[in-house]
Amino acid sequence: MERTAVNPWDWSLKLGYNQAEVVEGVTRQVICAGQTAVDGEGNPQHLDDMRAQIGLALDNLEAVLEKAGMDLSNIIRLGVYATDVDEALTNFDVMGMRFGIHQNAPPMTLLGVSRLAIPGLLFEIEATAAA
């Protein structure tokens, strides 16, 4: 798989994502459902702690990817949902640390929502991965 970043402007790079990517030579895709801060039984964790919820949502995303034979370096698109966008952005360095290790800045969208499916959850991340 070959990825080419498309950035007519560089402001998004400072926030950790590309405006677009051209992805060529893909033989496999994994479409991941939204991952949140739940334990193995689906119970919400870290209520009222956005930073911890981001970390656990990323842990859960990595577990799904690992089961599919991939990791965060394979992510080609992210959709992020937060009940408090300002609080999510304050803690977005967690995302940068996790994706930075893989030198991956996939295109993403961050949306503010009034609530997520399970009460108490503050952050959800869905992803498309390719290899």
Residue 110 domain-assigned (yes or no):
yes
pLDDT tens sequence across 24-61: 998 999 999 999 999 999 999 999 999 999 999 999 99
Q: How many residues does the chain have?
A: 131
Task: Enumerate the H helices of the chain as residue ranges.
Answer: 11-14, 50-67, 85-90, 93-100
What's residue 16's pLDDT?
A: 87
Residue keyed to tokens 């033989």: 27
pLDDT tens sequence across 101-127: 999 999 999 999 999 999 999 999 999
Q: How far is CA 61 from CA 4, 7, 38, 57, 114, in A?
A: 24, 26, 11, 6, 22
| Structural domain total, the chain | 1
**Stated pTM of the model:** 0.91
Distance CA 62, CA 70 (A): 8
Distance CA 85, CA 108 (A): 14
Distance CA 94, CA 58 (A): 9
Residue 61 domain-assigned (yes or no):
yes
For the domain that residue 102 is a member of, what is the CATH number? 3.30.1330.40
What's residue 26's pLDDT?
A: 87
- Which amino acid is located at 69 in the chain? G
Residue 21 domain-assigned (yes or no):
no
> How would residue 76 be classed by pLDDT, with cut points 50, 70 and 90?
very high
Residue 20 domain-assigned (yes or no):
no
Domain range holding 63?
Answer: 28-130
Q: Is the pLDDT of residue 15 over 90?
A: no
